Structure 1
């Protein structure tokens, strides 16, 4: 597939070392936590994050969270025009998924675009193809994206609405989500692919052992 100059630049920038992200803590009371031995980012559980959403896939199909999270998934909110953070973080997530594949763990990387004006399904398909063959790109209307973003307590703000070259401020955590269970933990930007693969494998093992 021939790449546009913009996506060729994205691919090149993905080789740069990622910076540090903010640390976030979430709490939950309740039942015994089957993932307690695996957690690094979430203190006490994860019940305050996640929820239902309806979005549009990179193939143009309307999908819900149940359609998307059929396997353990790494969920990230960003946009394809992002000049640095998004390609770096998604490249890291893709590398972690490849490491997990090599260890026999089937994990899906998911990219939700918060850029409802520019990120068409076609652009998302090009972006995800660059990043990883298993990556799923999602977009939607402003209302649909807002619902999904609020469910996972992410932040985004368009700097100059109406400007075709505008940047978008956004949060940079990656969320680990399981079918039926939902959100279980998150990873900051300073997590390496090796660390992410190691932690995700722990979660997947605990999930399988509980079934």
Structure 2
């Protein structure tokens, strides 16, 4: 009897649950496809309709108050990169302008120095002279024109100073040639009694092939030394054949292509600084005709 009752209960449950389950499924499907918006929106199509339901717009995955999206991050990165590029360009441009103006300022200083050394009216250093070179050819101040020249006064029997200075001059000449600058190097003896042309030629060949030796009689050499404000002296009461030393000024005289003095380089200039100083003068050189024209310009104060 008990077993029969259990079977009847099971049959009742089987008949009731499918109906309840189908009702629940129908209700949920209806709710899913029917809009509950009370603001006048069109209701969705019921299940089984031929019309395809509208597609839903996907929701954003970024929480309220969260970070920006990828496109915003990319835009910010581009702005930051452009800012750094602008800063780098500004620094480069500023450095270039500073270098240019500093270089131009130095050039103007060298030009003013050369103009002051030339002097106004009669030059303070330099002037007419007439000597002979070590090949026996006449050499005057006219031979200085058309090129930069550097002049040194010495003598072949000098034990140490002249050889040291001529060695330094040789280094300058070679270094300046590498930089495209050609100089006419001239050696004028202060001891014409012991430095005839053949002696000078042999002596100078030991230093540099471009060196030109000049000599002459005593009065001609003395006059040339006076023109360049060079001091020299020989000991008094010399006997024939007696060895002696000649005191003289120790300077290199730099002359421009117009034959005018522009600077004197003393022993404070070494192999490096001397070449740099000469190069500065060569780069800053302005012909006399152009210098005269600038005097009437509004910017002439820059060169005074």
Give TM-score scaled by structure 1 length: 0.77
Conserved 8 A contact 2:129-2:224: yes
Report which of the two structures shows the higher radius of gyration computed on alpha carbons.
2
Q: Against the structure 1 CA distance between its residues 192 and 39, is the aligned structure 2 distance closer, same or farther, given a 3 Å change threshold?
A: farther
Conserved 8 A contact 2:117-2:261: no
Alignment correspondent of 2:269: 191
1:63 aligns with 2:139: yes
Q: CA deviation at 1:36?
A: 5.0
Alignment correspondent of 2:258: 180
Unaligned runs of 5+ in 2: 1-106, 291-304
Q: CA deviation at 1:40?
A: 11
Alignment correspondent of 1:124: 200
- Which residue of 130, 154, 170 maps to 1:94? 170
Return the alpha-carbon distance in structure 1 between the equivalents of residues 266 and 192 of structure 2: 24
Q: CA deviation at 1:61?
A: 1.1
Give TM-score scaled by structure 2 length: 0.54
The CA deviation string for residues 149-207 of structure 1, in whole angstroms up to 9 with x for no partner, is: 00110000012534531111111011101232411000111211211111111111122
Choose 60-69 or 163-172, whichever is displaced more.
Answer: 60-69
1:38 aligns with 2:114: no
Q: Over aligned residue pairs, what C-alpha RMSD do you find? A: 2.4
Q: Against the structure 1 CA distance between its residues 141 and 68, is the aligned structure 2 distance closer, same or farther, given a 3 Å change threshold?
A: farther
SS in 2 for 1:131: coil
Return the alpha-carbon distance in structure 1 between the equivalents of residues 221 and 108 of structure 2: 31
Conserved 8 A contact 1:38-1:199: no
- Which residue of 151, 157, 161 maps to 1:85? 161
Alignment correspondent of 2:33: none
Count of aligned pairs between the two proteins: 178
Unaligned runs of 5+ in 1: 1-34
Following superposition, which runs of at least 4 residues in structure 1 exceed 4 angstroms of deviation? 39-43, 208-211
- Which residue of 165, 182, 206 maps to 1:106? 182
Alignment correspondent of 1:203: 281
Conserved 8 A contact 2:250-2:266: yes
